[in-house]
Structure 1
Amino acid sequence: MVRAGTMRRHALLAMGTALTTATPCLAQATDPDARAAAIERQMTDAERVTLTHGIMAIPFGDTKVPTGVLLGAGRVEGIPRLGVPALTETDASLGVAYIGGLRGDGATALPSGLAMGATWDPALLRRGGATIAGEAQAKGFNVLLGGGINLVRDPRGGRNFEYLGEDPLHSGLLGGAAVAGIQSRHVLATVKHFAINAVETGRQFHNAIIGDAALRMSDLLAFEIAIERGNPGSVMCAYNRVNGASACGNDALLNGVLKRDWGYKGFVMSDWGAVHGLDFALKGLDQQSGAQLDARLYFGNELSAAARRDPRYATRLTEMNRRILRAMFAVGVDAHPPVVAPIDFAANARVAQDVAEQGIVLLRNRGVLPLAAKAQRIAVIGGYADSGVLSGGGSSQVQGVGGPAVAIPTIGGPFAALLAQSYQRSSPLAAIKARAPKAEVVFRNGRYIADAVIAAKQADVAIVFATQWMTEGLDAPDLSLPEGQDALIAAVAQANPNTIVVLETGSQVLMPWLDRTAAVIEAWYPGARGGEAIAAILFGDVNPSGRLPVTFPASVDQLPRPKLPGSETLEPDFMGKGTPGQTLDIDYDVEGADVGYRWFARRQAAPLFPFGFGLSYTSFAHGPLTIVPGPTPVARFTVTNTGKREGAEVGQVYLTGTPAGATTRLVGFSKVQLKPGERRVLEIPIEPRVVATWQDGKWTMAAGTYTFATGHSATDLDTTTRVALPARRW
């Protein structure tokens, strides 16, 4: 018979309760590692596989979600006896996912990942992460399955809109900030999809081929920085293969890089339906997510039986549980459980609008913007601008209260709701009318070019809203605007020289009509208050400060792979599982670590718009650059607002030369708000790993002269300096 005192001590240990006069044992239990070890030791054999798998908590096929379970991306049962709560999981980086309205509620949609990347503002992304985590808690969730860290390697990638950009430092710093914001609300965050999940074609079987050095210096560096900055509770592995092995059963990535080299203490969860064998446990996977999407449940009774007969599995099972528990305790999931409560949607929408306003990029302006009061006749054309703003499809789709303003079916079957082309309830047309109440504002849907041209000819200004819908599971076949929108823009621009194009795109697009237009703004998928944010930029209430997080190519011929691998042989398939043994090799060694603007610099190719580019309604000048050497060198230079109105500049610092030759690499950045005539000294830490190269398992810097430059973009570099740096290896 167990004594009451022993039971009480076990309960206190399980809940992490500290007494006023704590004994050394209880004090130690407040440490997440010690608590995790203590609770794991108390588990029964049956309990040891409770945390190692979960369900997709959505009705799907023959799957029945247990009564009382909160509908969402997933659920992992807890162990109430030991004070371990269940993990209630929701997608994703952009807000609490709508899941086709199955819960009958809505949430605040942050702008897309590329819109967040275009802000170049880690503090704002931290604020955004905290906002959506607060909503997740108020709905009963304690896990947000974000954020997306993968680099944009191909502009046709279906999930590009979820990611932050093409540069590892930029994505790592911004992604880490978003994760830190999420976990500041005691909601466990992930970083995903580990690793090199760049396209969706054949997503369950395509094989990313890339050398170790190139991978370490690109996609893995983005994850490494994000993990250091955000300390996420979990890393979600990807569907695809990496150098032959499935990402979720990839010993080199999970055990080698993540856990051994980086010392990561959290746990690795699978993507939903990405587990193909029990041995994935030995190769570093800690949790099988959405298990009903796999061929069978590997991490349940099968794992338990393996642990009884094989010491390797027994050791791993202990580690798996301790990692999961440690992450829960470190984030405070147990001590700060979700409490369903009212949500201040108005306040949260203001955060979403701030992100959208700072992420909108002004690409072209022939003096027509900001719109003046003299524009008395405004034609608004296309893009469902009378109803709302576009959102990306798939698991990350978020919709507000009342659901989408417009939902256009794209496929049938069980994923139809996830893959509807949906528009959030923030009408740009209504926002423009509210901002210009005395103007005559007309709308044409753009279905007929002739009708749009008539409206444009009769207007002082024509604003064409052009959309490019992208989704998880499907890549874009090319870089054109679909449904004849390129022809629509060209015709309207010919009819009215004051034509403004507002792009709502999931990634980069071509612009064959660019030279005919007066202005172009890239609004991405601008979220819950996107219409209001677009109007604020158009009328100059907000000075645009977004800078491109990706390079816009002038043609597909400039890409490392002009033809999208698999596009000519594979049918579009949302799940992309293929047939047993099927593979699609994608050679990323073509560009290696030179992703995006680095590839363009290497090829000496001129893009349509470069990484880091963005116009303003004011102007900025950079002063002389100095580099303060040290383990983390510091770039110091002045930024001056030389224009007539307040605005924000992104001070960008690039490495342009090493002892080995010329290069172009972003090594640091800082966003600063300045009044007219104001000057500020920026001191920007330079990330040493971006200056170094990966050689023989170490970061290596050769002794010699390095050249740095400030820039307004990756191709518009101004003040430069050279500095001698010593050899380093770490």
Structure 2
Amino acid sequence: MTATITDTAYPTPPTSFPSPSPPTEGSPWHNGSRAFLTASVPDLISRLTKYEKIKLLAGADWWHTVPIHRLDIPGVKMTDGPNGARGASFAEMTAGLAIPCETALGATFAPEMVHRAASLLAKETKDRGAVALLAPTINIQRSPLGGRAFESFSEDPLLSGLMAASYVEGLQQNGVSAVLKHFVCNDQEHERSAVSAEVSERALREVYLRPFMIAVQEADPLAIMTSYNRVNGTHVAESKHLLEDVLRREWAYNGMVMSDWFGTYSVDLGILAGQDLEMPGPAKWRTEYLVDHCLMSRKITERQIDTRVEKVLHWAQRLARLSPDVVYGDDVEITSHDARDRAFLRELAGSSIVLLKNKGNVLPITNKRARVAVIGPGATSNCVSGGGSAALNASYVVTVLDGLKVGAPSDLELAYCLGTPAHKLLPHLYGIVNEDGDAGCDLRLFADRDDMAHPARAVRRLRLCDSSGLISDDIPENLKDRPWFAVMTGTWTAPVTGAYEFSLSVCGRARLYIDGLLVVDNWDISQRPGDGFFGQGTVEEMGVSHVNKGQECQIRCEYSNVAGSKIGQEVKDESQPIHNFGLRVGGFPVVDQEQELQDAVGTAQGCDAVVLVVGLGPDFESEAFDRPDLSLPMRTDELIERVAAVNERTVVVVQSGSAVNMPWANKVAGIVQAWYGGNEAGNAIADVLYGRRNPSGRLPITLPKREQDVPAYTDFKSEKGIVHYSEGLNVGYKWYQARKIEPLFPFGS
């Protein structure tokens, strides 16, 4: 099969990134004997000193629990999910597989497929040297505006619970602990550590707790993570009613309960309520001094500490028995390549795709000697997931354009054009390489600003997988709690000739130089707060430079972890719990948007059909911020309407984790909801468009005609630390049925 495609002046993202270099020494966490496997937990507790017990109540670092070598108790390593296993570093992410987002999994309505997906994630987790995956997320999609809606299965508690149970079983039957999250009512990002979800007892039970109850009773997750927020005035991490009365007594849950990262807010209240483990470490609350002070004042007793320690040790022992080679391994992270995994990911992504409209049987595209226009910013995007904790370094990415090219019927001609930019942040500098010639940048950390000109004086070198780095969990001990500096370098080959816009967003301050010339200054200016770096970064500051196609440009970004003059006083959301450091460099050609739209219309006019690929991405759907509205970015809606006006066989492919507005729904011939499809998204979409796979997915959420129809429309986001769940039981499709509101596309369609 062959296909032709017109040349494009815009950069195509890479298909893979390298894994970071493995450590040169073995991990300090797993170097004990295996006596722990057969040890009696009560006996171990009796032999632990008071201070050893206190240490076991919190993590050792970002991803490990504390080992007690004296008693051969190993540390346990965790890693983030839910659509892949990232590994132990945000900055140096190990390349891995990305399964479709959880909304896509929900759209399969196939628990057996989710079980297979989780089994694959168990293997990926072990490849990262970990035995616990922070997943699945089963919060209800109360509103499509929720920043992490893409991480959840559905608006329906029964579907969410059944999918979660299969996910948990797939992990745990393969030796990896599920960490069910976020218990409970973590349905928005606005003031997420402070907000109180004011919800009736009946709605709490029947809607928000129900998926957790189903997963606990059907699959017995080894661990559960408490949410950041409060419920009816009390932080879940300190709620004896939710953790002890409901979870442990009513549901007979016997596993471990851990905090979300920095989601512990006290010493005694959390311990008394039943939160076993504070993460991450080292401890912020459960320090030797603070816990000992609570013991001395009789706020807690050592027996109550023993209860919490017992849960942690039983959890660690079960994992050591299930996966001893990993728990007692060397903690080296690897990337596996298996053609069978790729084939399954393609099948899984294809099974999640929902065909919402197919007027005049515009699909499948099977005509030979036809000319098809592929238009839209999503066609060449390497977006595999939303952002935040779900972010991954995908080992490879099949874009929609790649999939359509490779899988095209014989003699089908494809013509591509951008149509319109649709990014919130300028894309990473695709094509940048570090000094070793690998994809990505070098980032060197320095103790003194004068050392920045001398790479040999670096305290640490990090190998970033692209032109950005969140480095909060990679800071050497001798740089913590003090000012430090960094330099990010790389060689970038310009993909076009002409004006190129560069951007710099930081959590700290920085300057960007291109071939030695200052292009963007985000150091001395009054910095403006933005959404990046979990809500703690600046907005992008911009600069323009002229480049020539094929020109090798030297990128240098100088950074300080000390924020600029105003950012510390003007943080958008002071309830974000994690203190971050990082920098992000973006770039994109300066384009004439009107000319791009005209080019798209001209291309569409001369074609037999149009595939318009649009959607969102990690800059729009992410942890730490919510979406402001349901609109597609920039001039996307205008692009669709103008193209549809000149070609009646226009098919729109939407890549998003939740609902988007579709004011053009009646003007196009086809609509395909493709979600975030993971590594194989492009091939899976091509399989559907070319008729090789039946689009059997069904909507796990309701798509509204307008944002005002969403049940939580009048009560979303926090006001003075409170959000009222005023819709009660009428969440999702129940609202539309009760109010007789016609959705654009109903749940299950």
Q: TM above 0.5, one fold?
A: yes
Alignment of 1:88-237 (within 5 A): 88-97=77-86, 102-103=91-92, 105-237=94-226
1:298 to 286, 294, 298: 286
Is the 2:86–2:93 contact (alpha carbons within 8 Å) kept by the matching residues of 1? Answer: no
| 1:584 aligned residue | 721
Alignment of 1:54-65 (within 5 A): 54-57=59-62
Is the 1:386–1:443 contact (alpha carbons within 8 Å) kept by the matching residues of 2? Answer: no
- Give CA deviations for 1:498-556 in whole Å, capped at 9, x if unaligned: 10100001211121101111111111010011100000111111111101111111112
Give the distance between the partners of 1:99 and 1:325, measured in 2 at CA. Answer: 22
| 1:317 aligned residue | 305
Structure 1, unpaired ranges of 5+: 1-10, 18-28, 30-34, 58-73, 402-423, 570-582, 614-730
Structure 1 residues 142 and 13: alpha-carbon distance in aligned structure 2, compared to 1, 3 A threshold? closer
| 1:329 aligned residue | 317
Give yes or no for the alignment of 1:601 onto 2:749: no
2:36 to 12, 15, 20: 15
Is the 2:711–2:731 contact (alpha carbons within 8 Å) kept by the matching residues of 1? Answer: no
Alignment of 1:540-689 (within 5 A): 540-563=691-714, 565-566=716-717, 583-588=720-725, 590-613=726-749
Is the 1:194–1:247 contact (alpha carbons within 8 Å) kept by the matching residues of 2? Answer: yes
Q: Secondary structure at the match of 2:414?
A: strand
Give the distance between the partners of 1:468 and 1:335, measured in 2 at CA. Answer: 38
| 1:383 aligned residue | 377
Give yes or no for the alignment of 1:508 onto 2:659: yes
Structure 1 residues 373 and 451: alpha-carbon distance in aligned structure 2, compared to 1, 3 A threshold? same
Give yes or no for the alignment of 1:359 onto 2:336: no
Give yes or no for the alignment of 1:348 onto 2:485: no
Is the 1:99–1:395 contact (alpha carbons within 8 Å) kept by the matching residues of 2? Answer: no
Task: Say which is worse superposed, 334-343 or 555-564, in terms of deviation.
Answer: 334-343
How far residue 96 of structure 1 moved from its aligned partner, in angstroms, is 1.0
| 2:598 aligned residue | 450
How far residue 601 of structure 1 moved from its aligned partner, in angstroms, is 1.2
How far residue 179 of structure 1 moved from its aligned partner, in angstroms, is 1.2
- Give CA deviations for 1:254-299 in whole Å, capped at 9, x if unaligned: 112111211111111111111111122112211110246x8x3335
Give the distance between the partners of 1:127 and 1:598, measured in 2 at CA. Answer: 31
- Give CA deviations for 1:308-334 in whole Å, capped at 9, x if unaligned: 553843222111111122223334456
Is the 1:188–1:328 contact (alpha carbons within 8 Å) kept by the matching residues of 2? Answer: no
1:432 to 391, 404, 410: 404
Amino acid at match of 1:430: D
2:50 to 42, 45, 48: 45
Q: Secondary structure at the match of 1:586?
A: strand
Is the 1:36–1:323 contact (alpha carbons within 8 Å) kept by the matching residues of 2? Answer: no
| 2:390 aligned residue | 396
| 2:486 aligned residue | none
Kindly, what percent of the aligned residue pairs are identical? 34
Amino acid at match of 2:678: G
| 1:674 aligned residue | none
TM-score by length of 2: 0.68
Q: Secondary structure at the match of 1:75?
A: coil
| 2:41 aligned residue | 36
Amino acid at match of 2:55: T
Q: Secondary structure at the match of 1:76?
A: coil
Is the 1:52–1:300 contact (alpha carbons within 8 Å) kept by the matching residues of 2? Answer: no
Give the distance between the partners of 1:104 and 1:16, measured in 2 at CA. Answer: 31
1:285 to 275, 287, 291: 275
Give the distance between the partners of 1:324 and 1:594, measured in 2 at CA. Answer: 38
- Name segments (4+ residues, structure 1) moved above 6 Å: none
Amino acid at match of 2:196: N
Amino acid at match of 1:466: V
Q: Kindly report the root-mean-square deviation, in angstroms, between the aligned alpha carbons of the 2 structures.
A: 2.2
| 2:493 aligned residue | none
**Matched residue count:** 532
Give the distance between the partners of 1:345 and 1:310, measured in 2 at CA. Answer: 56
How far residue 111 of structure 1 moved from its aligned partner, in angstroms, is 0.6
Structure 1 residues 299 and 116: alpha-carbon distance in aligned structure 2, compared to 1, 3 A threshold? farther
How far residue 79 of structure 1 moved from its aligned partner, in angstroms, is 2.1
How far residue 564 of structure 1 moved from its aligned partner, in angstroms, is 5.9
How far residue 105 of structure 1 moved from its aligned partner, in angstroms, is 2.4
Structure 1 residues 83 and 238: alpha-carbon distance in aligned structure 2, compared to 1, 3 A threshold? same
Give the distance between the partners of 1:13 and 1:99, measured in 2 at CA. Answer: 24
Is the 2:100–2:384 contact (alpha carbons within 8 Å) kept by the matching residues of 1? Answer: no
Structure 1 residues 550 and 321: alpha-carbon distance in aligned structure 2, compared to 1, 3 A threshold? same
- Give CA deviations for 1:674-711 in whole Å, capped at 9, x if unaligned: xxxxxxxxxxxxxxxxxxxxxxxxxxxxxxxxxxxxxx
Structure 1 residues 99 and 76: alpha-carbon distance in aligned structure 2, compared to 1, 3 A threshold? closer
Give yes or no for the alignment of 1:520 onto 2:641: no
Structure 2, unpaired ranges of 5+: 1-31, 421-595
Give the distance between the partners of 1:487 and 1:603, measured in 2 at CA. Answer: 31
Task: Say which is worse superposed, 368-377 or 318-327, in terms of deviation.
Answer: 368-377
- Give CA deviations for 1:8-56 in whole Å, capped at 9, x if unaligned: xxx9995334xxxxxxxxxxx7xxxxx4333222222222123211155
Amino acid at match of 2:271: A
Is the 1:115–1:356 contact (alpha carbons within 8 Å) kept by the matching residues of 2? Answer: yes
Q: Secondary structure at the match of 2:121?
A: helix
- Give CA deviations for 1:426-455 in whole Å, capped at 9, x if unaligned: 111121111125221111112221111111
Task: Say which is worse superposed, 253-262 or 150-159, in terms of deviation.
Answer: 253-262
Give the distance between the partners of 2:727 and 2:700, measured in 1 at CA. Answer: 18
Q: Secondary structure at the match of 1:77?
A: coil
Structure 1 residues 316 and 608: alpha-carbon distance in aligned structure 2, compared to 1, 3 A threshold? same
Q: Secondary structure at the match of 1:363?
A: strand
Give yes or no for the alignment of 1:369 onto 2:363: yes
Give the distance between the partners of 2:135 and 2:632, measured in 1 at CA. Answer: 28
2:690 to 495, 518, 539: 539
Structure 1 residues 91 and 342: alpha-carbon distance in aligned structure 2, compared to 1, 3 A threshold? closer
Give the distance between the partners of 2:141 and 2:609, measured in 1 at CA. Answer: 34
Q: Secondary structure at the match of 2:77?
A: strand
Structure 1 residues 55 and 352: alpha-carbon distance in aligned structure 2, compared to 1, 3 A threshold? farther
Structure 1 residues 56 and 45: alpha-carbon distance in aligned structure 2, compared to 1, 3 A threshold? closer
Amino acid at match of 1:396: A
Is the 2:102–2:151 contact (alpha carbons within 8 Å) kept by the matching residues of 1? Answer: yes
Is the 1:177–1:230 contact (alpha carbons within 8 Å) kept by the matching residues of 2? Answer: yes
Give the distance between the partners of 2:397 and 2:335, measured in 1 at CA. Answer: 20
- Give CA deviations for 1:230-269 in whole Å, capped at 9, x if unaligned: 2111110111111001121122111121112111111111
